[in-house]
């Protein structure tokens, strides 16, 4: 069982490590997305290029690389879905192709949750939208959602998701450490704001 989990983690890590945001912006002739905004390869930073279509494609591809390895693990290595989930998010956040730097992991975590427990994903999507509407700060909505995702998974009857979702929440929050610093200083930009 441990061998299957390790295999699932490794495959998911490699798939998760594909830096779609960087590849898409380079293919569009926009250069290196890491040189603007937060320096992240994720959709929020891709949106700062002004190309909404590229940002939407980044969200979909980053979510897909979270969902696909979990689904494959369930089909071929039953019981290793949690390891695949953590591997996909870790691969996105610490990609070996970019010196173990990457995105913040939220879209990939969303894809993972969709594959692990889609009802929990629906509740989390509602929580994210409500938090964003109230605070108008993307990082607050993302961190609130991932931190509460294990509780939501447990409450909806998916106990096997708790440990993977706790580990994923830890990764995503770590990747938001710069945002946390800006929040503490009152400098984090608001959605639709001038900051």
Q: How confident is the model at residue 193 (pLDDT cuts 50, 70, 90)?
A: low
When pLDDT is averaged across residues 155-169 and rounded to a whole number, the result is 97
Give pLDDT, residue 62: 97
pLDDT tens track for 14-72: 999 999 999 999 999 998 999 987 788 998 889 888 899 999 999 999 999 999 999 99
State pTM to two decimals.
Answer: 0.94
Give pLDDT, residue 57: 97
Using a 10 angstrom Cβ sphere, with 0-12 exposed, 13-18 middle and 19 or more buried, the burial of residue 75 is: exposed
pLDDT tens track for 72-126: 999 999 999 999 999 999 999 999 999 999 999 999 999 999 999 999 999 999 9
Q: How confident is the model at residue 195 (pLDDT cuts 50, 70, 90)?
A: very low
When pLDDT is averaged across residues 155-170 and rounded to a whole number, the result is 97
Give pLDDT, residue 5: 96
When pLDDT is averaged across residues 166-171 and rounded to a whole number, the result is 98
């Amino acid at each position: 069982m441990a061998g299957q989990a390790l295999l699932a983690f490794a495959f998911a890590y490699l798939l998760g490590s594909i830096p779609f945001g960087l590849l898409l912006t380079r293919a569009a002739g926009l250069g290196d997305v890491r040189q603007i905004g937060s320096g992240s390869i994720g959709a929020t930073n891709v949106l700062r290029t002004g190309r909404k279509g590229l940002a939407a494609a980044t969200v979909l591809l980053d979510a897909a690389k979270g969902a696909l390895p979990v689904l494959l693990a369930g089909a071929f290595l039953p019981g290793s879905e949690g390891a695949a989930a953590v591997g996909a998010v870790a691969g996105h956040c610490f990609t070996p192709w970019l010196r173990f730097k990457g995105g913040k992991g939220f879209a990939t975590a969303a894809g993972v949750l969709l594959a692990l427990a889609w009802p929990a994903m629906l509740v989390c999507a509602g929580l994210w939208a409500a938090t964003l509407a109230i605070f108008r700060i993307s990082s607050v909505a993302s961190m609130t959602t991932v931190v509460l995702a294990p509780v939501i998974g447990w409450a909806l009857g998916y106990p096997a998701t708790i440990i993977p979702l706790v580990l994923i929440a830890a990764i995503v929050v770590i990747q938001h450490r710069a945002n946390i610093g800006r929040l503490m200083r009152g400098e984090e930009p608001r959605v639709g704001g001038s900051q």
